[in-house]
Amino acid sequence: MKKKLFKFLVVMMMLSLVALTGCSNSSKETSSKETKSDNNTKVTITYWQYTFPAKVDEIKSLIKKFEDQNPNITVVTQDFPYDQYNQKVAAAMHAGTGPDILNLYYGWLPQYIKQGYLQPIPQDLMTTSEIEKKYIPMIQASKIDGKYYTLPIAVRSLALFYNKDMFKAAGLDPNSPPKTWDELIDDAKKMTKRDASGKLEQEGFAWDVNGQGYHAFEEVFLRQWGVEPFSKDGKKVQWNSSSKGLDAFTYWINMNKQEKIGEPNFLTDYSTAFKAGKAGIIIDGSFNIKAIKDAAKFDWGVTTLPVKEKDGLKSNFGSFWTNGIAKGVKGDKLKASEKFLKFLISEETQKDWLKNVGELPAFASFANDDSINKDPIYGPFVQGLKSAHATFFVDEAKERTSIANQIDKILLNNEPINKTFDSLVKEQQQIRDDYFSTQ
């Protein structure tokens, strides 16, 4: 009896071990299958940007490369006209149908964050200290309340594009572009042509407000005339902190009003006029290099921005478009979005972006790259970065509209420059007061 009981217990123990082993193997197989399933999850994310042909083409090319490397992630891109972009984003975000990743102008950041469109850059993607070590200092203008919400691929500064053929035709040396603003005015006068009725046929300098003009006024003219545009905390507009502010504004306005070397909206806009061979000089960013290369049927060059007087203060406006992950994106979509954003800001992508779009790499590691620094086209923009200031905008669209409308009063209604300047400063200050009162 005892022997039978012993045998029974042994058999039961063996069966239990087999069962346990089977359960263990089954558990491993299930775990393995779940891991495999997770790794093969297909995810679709969306990327929005505004319509700028060189950028649209480049993003499509980059997406193809990214998808080849990440076959389980599909990136759908959409672009919208510049003047509709913010409205499209606002409508989509409020409807819950917005993109996963947004490309936006850094000057829009305060409003995008205020509206709750963006989430901070995940720390596992890049910490704040890593961002500030990796990027050139200029991008710190996008740091809001100690946090970064976006990461740029590239940065821009301003320079002069000039038509060498027009210089020759006007008896000017095509290899000696203007070094001071007075020289620019003198050269532009020689290239400006009007018909018998006074209608502009060719402008020596494409003076404008809505393009890069108002940036040049804020960060170049004001500084070169000895005025710090804003207080360090960005709360105070200091354009009229001394009489030099009005002097700078008057000089800039009179390039159009008094010297008559160019007009806003001539041939639609400054860039179109230059590409058509009807503007001798324009101020623009490196992002327009490709478009000018493709369109210009004349010899042209690039040089650094002029100064107030010989050996005077150099100043420039720096800016960038940047990429952020939308608030509410989570789970697999967040992981995929982080992966795509990391790909977008890689050194390899920044090199491609320079080549195909024309904007300068944003990583500090490119600062000593002689292939860029000594390039006759890119070099002046790199030099410009050394003295560039990225304006802290609280509402870039409102600030731009304000200065454009006030200048229209001067140019179209002949209102006094000094009184209009005072009104403009008050209006700009009110925009900042309204923003900071809600922070």
Q: Of 26-35, 148-157, 291-300, which range is least confident?
A: 26-35
Q: What is the pLDDT of residue 184?
A: 99
**Model confidence over 124-146: pLDDT tens digits?**
999 999 999 999 999 999 999 99
Q: What is the pLDDT of residue 29?
A: 34
Q: What is the pLDDT of residue 27?
A: 33
Q: What is the pLDDT of residue 40?
A: 74
**Model confidence over 225-252: pLDDT tens digits?**
999 999 999 999 999 999 999 999 999 9
**Model confidence over 336-370: pLDDT tens digits?**
999 999 999 999 999 999 999 999 999 999 988 99
CA torsion, ordered 85, 439, 394, 228, to nearest 10 deg? -170
Structural domains of the chain, with CATH? 43-156+319-389 (3.40.190.10), 158-317+393-436 (3.40.190.10)
Burial annotation 44-75 (CB, 10 A radius, 16+ → b, else e)? ebbbbbbebebbeebbeebbeebeeeeeebeb
Long-range contacts of 223-232 (CB under 8 A, 24+ apart): 223/313, 223/315, 223/389, 224/248, 224/307, 224/308, 224/312, 224/313, 224/315, 225/251, 225/308, 229/391, 230/391, 230/392
Q: What is the pLDDT of residue 317?
A: 98
Q: What is the pLDDT of residue 403?
A: 98
Segments in 297-385 forming alpha helices (H): 331-344, 347-356, 370-373, 379-385
pTM of the predicted model, to two decimals?
A: 0.85
Mean pLDDT of the chain: 91
Q: Which residue has the tokens 């960005």?
A: 234
Spatial distance between the Cα atoms of 250 and 181, rounded to a whole number of angstroms: 13
**Model confidence over 245-262: pLDDT tens digits?**
999 999 999 999 999 999
Contact status, residue 112 vs residue 327, Cβ threshold 8 Å: no
Q: Of 2-6, 251-255, 267-271, 394-398, which range is least confident?
A: 2-6
Which residues are CB-neighbours of 349 under 8 A, at least 6 positions away?
62, 153, 343
Q: What is the pLDDT of residue 327?
A: 97
- Which of 403, 433, 431 has its CA nearest to residue 249? 403
Contact status, residue 204 vs residue 261, Cβ threshold 8 Å: yes
Which residues sit opposite 73 in a β-bridge? 43
**Model confidence over 147-201: pLDDT tens digits?**
999 999 999 999 999 999 999 999 999 999 999 999 999 999 999 999 999 999 9
Which residues sit opposite 302 in a β-bridge? 161
Q: Which structure tokens are listed for 167? A: 């210089």
Q: Of 30-39, 86-95, 265-274, 402-411, which range is least confident?
A: 30-39
Neighbours of 130 (CB within 10 A): 13
Q: Report the SS3 class of residue 303.
A: strand
- Which of 317, 273, 315, 331 has its CA nearest to residue 298? 273
Q: What is the pLDDT of residue 368?
A: 86
Rg of the chain in Å (alpha carbons) = 29
Mean pLDDT of 372-393: 95
- Which of 63, 91, 65, 88 has its CA nearest to residue 76? 63
Q: What is the pLDDT of residue 39?
A: 58
Contact status, residue 298 vs residue 164, Cβ threshold 8 Å: yes
**Model confidence over 55-110: pLDDT tens digits?**
999 999 999 999 999 999 999 999 999 999 999 999 999 999 999 999 999 999 99
Phi, psi of 73 (to 5 degrees): -115, 125
CA torsion, ordered 17, 21, 23, 26, to nearest 10 deg? -160
Spatial distance between the Cα atoms of 349 and 380, rounded to a whole number of angstroms: 22
Cα 184 versus chain centre, distance: 27
Long-range contacts of 77-84 (CB under 8 A, 24+ apart): 77/46, 77/47, 77/48, 77/49, 78/46, 78/47, 78/48, 78/49, 79/48, 79/49, 79/50, 79/51, 79/52, 80/48, 80/50, 80/51, 81/50, 81/51, 82/50, 82/51, 82/52
- Of all residues in the chain, the percent with pLDDT exceeding 90 is 89
Residue 38 has pLDDT above 60, yes or no: no
Mean pLDDT of 35-41: 52
Which residue type occupies 311? D
Contact status, residue 169 vs residue 140, Cβ threshold 8 Å: no
Which residues sit opposite 104 in a β-bridge? 322
